[in-house]
């Protein structure tokens, strides 16, 4: 395939990924990415067993995969750059050569960040901007997509390329942390609301007990509750809370209010009920954080 054909495949891949995000949310299952999509009768998978992945229909790798922390490689985000490890220790490995060629031709890639087992966040487009054989690392630019860099090697006008312009590093970091936190909290609560047991994942959020802007607002499971969107909003607005003994308390003014069946069933009947708990003790809501939240609830009441 020539370079123009290769570019067409990856632009189609970017469009397909955006459609999947609209359907499934930001975090996509590995099985979906491994299957990929059909383009002119040919299947285009976007993820493979190795971190640097090139489907047969492409001239260059189409994606790279990393773990934000704790992975087998020394990948790390430094400023607006991801330092990305070579495949193995041989700079001449075909995967490393492919990524080096992608760098030389300013080819856009998809970065998949694994936020949980079998679940990935996609960032696109990203560009390999430096090769460091001495440290067996590439550098990947995570900042705003530079359409002039993308267009130059293919002699195309930047305005013709349907790629969004702004990918800011702070947004990237926040997306990764938020999605990883949500995935881990929902997994701990077995994909159901801790208050009403609703199981529809599209309607579930990971609520912070102590907000992430506060000193104790770490993105750890014990600082989270899996809540449906109704109970997340009620929790954030101090309509209800969870006491340190894991019992739900509804604000007195809400209990005394007269309204339709949603107020009765959705909020009032939750009063004095115990929440659904994670199986692992390590994942259970931190009681000190619940106490701090309960004090804020009392002040708001």
Q: Does 214 score more than 70 pLDDT?
A: no
What pLDDT score was predicted for residue 116? 86
What pLDDT score was predicted for residue 1? 59
Q: Does 290 score more than 70 pLDDT?
A: yes
113 shares its domain with 134: yes
pLDDT confidence tier of residue 173, bands split at 50, 70 and 90? low
Contact (CB, 8 A) for 162 and 156: no
Task: Give me the number of domains the chain comprises.
Answer: 2
pLDDT confidence tier of residue 159, bands split at 50, 70 and 90? very low
Instruction: Tell me which residue range forms the domain holding 106.
Output: 3-178
Choice among 200-214, 221-235, 287-301 with the minimum mean pLDDT: 200-214
Domain-terminating residue out of 120, 152, 178 = 178
CA angle 126, 30, 127 (to 5 degrees): 10
Contact (CB, 8 A) for 61 and 95: yes
Domain with residue 14: its CATH number is 2.30.280
Contact (CB, 8 A) for 221 and 278: yes
Q: Average the pLDDT over 134-138 and give the result.
A: 94
The more confident residue out of 225 and 78 is 225
95 φ, ψ (degrees, to nearest 5): -65, -40
Contact (CB, 8 A) for 276 and 192: yes
Whole-angstrom CA distances from 246 to 22, 97, 249, 272, 284 are 35, 55, 9, 9, 9
Q: How many CA atoms lie within 13 A of 118 on its CB side?
A: 4
Nearest C-alpha neighbor of 163 from the set 23, 52, 44, 13 = 13
135 shares its domain with 260: no
C-alpha 278/C-alpha 187 separation (Å) is 9
What pLDDT score was predicted for residue 168? 41
Percent over 90 (pLDDT), the chain:
63
Query: Is 225 within a domain?
Result: yes
pLDDT in tens, 82-124: 899 999 999 999 999 999 999 999 999 999 999 888 999 998 8
Establish whether the linkage from the previous residue to 188 is cis, with ω within 30° of 0.
Answer: no
97 shares its domain with 198: no
Q: Average the pLDDT over 233-262 and give the result.
A: 93
Q: Does 152 score more than 60 pLDDT?
A: no
C-alpha 54/C-alpha 32 separation (Å) is 16
């Amino acid at each position: 395939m020539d370079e123009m054909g290769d570019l067409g495949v990856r632009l189609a891949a970017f469009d397909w990924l955006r459609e999947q995000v609209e359907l499934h949310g930001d975090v996509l299952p590995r099985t979906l990415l491994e299957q990929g999509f059909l383009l002119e009768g040919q299947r285009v998978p976007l993820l493979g067993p190795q971190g640097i992945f090139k489907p047969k229909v492409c001239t260059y790798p189409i994606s790279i995969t990393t773990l934000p922390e704790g992975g087998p490689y020394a990948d790390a985000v430094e400023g607006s750059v991801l330092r990305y490890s070579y495949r193995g220790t041989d700079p001449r490995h075909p995967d490393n050569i492919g990524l080096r060629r992608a760098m030389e031709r300013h080819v856009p890639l998809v970065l998949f960040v694994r936020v949980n087992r079998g679940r990935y966040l996609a960032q696109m487009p990203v560009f390999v901007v430096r090769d460091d054989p001495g440290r067996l690392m590439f550098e990947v630019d995570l900042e705003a997509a530079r359409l002039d860099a993308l267009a130059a090697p293919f002699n195309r006008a930047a305005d013709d390329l349907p790629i969004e312009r702004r990918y800011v590093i702070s947004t990237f970091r926040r997306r990764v942390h938020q999605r990883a936190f949500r995935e881990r909290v929902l997994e701990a609560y077995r994909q159901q609301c801790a208050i009403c047991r609703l199981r529809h994942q599209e309607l579930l959020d990971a609520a912070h007990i102590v907000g992430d802007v506060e000193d104790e607002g770490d993105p750890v499971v014990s600082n989270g509750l899996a809540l449906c969107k109704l109970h997340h909003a009620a929790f954030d607005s101090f309509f209800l809370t969870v006491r340190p003994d894991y019992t739900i308390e509804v604000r007195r003014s809400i209990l005394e209010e007269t309204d339709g069946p949603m107020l009765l069933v959705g909020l009032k009947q939750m009063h004095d009920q115990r929440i659904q708990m994670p199986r692992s003790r390590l994942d259970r809501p931190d009681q000190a954080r619940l106490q701090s939240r309960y004090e804020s609830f009392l002040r708001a009441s």
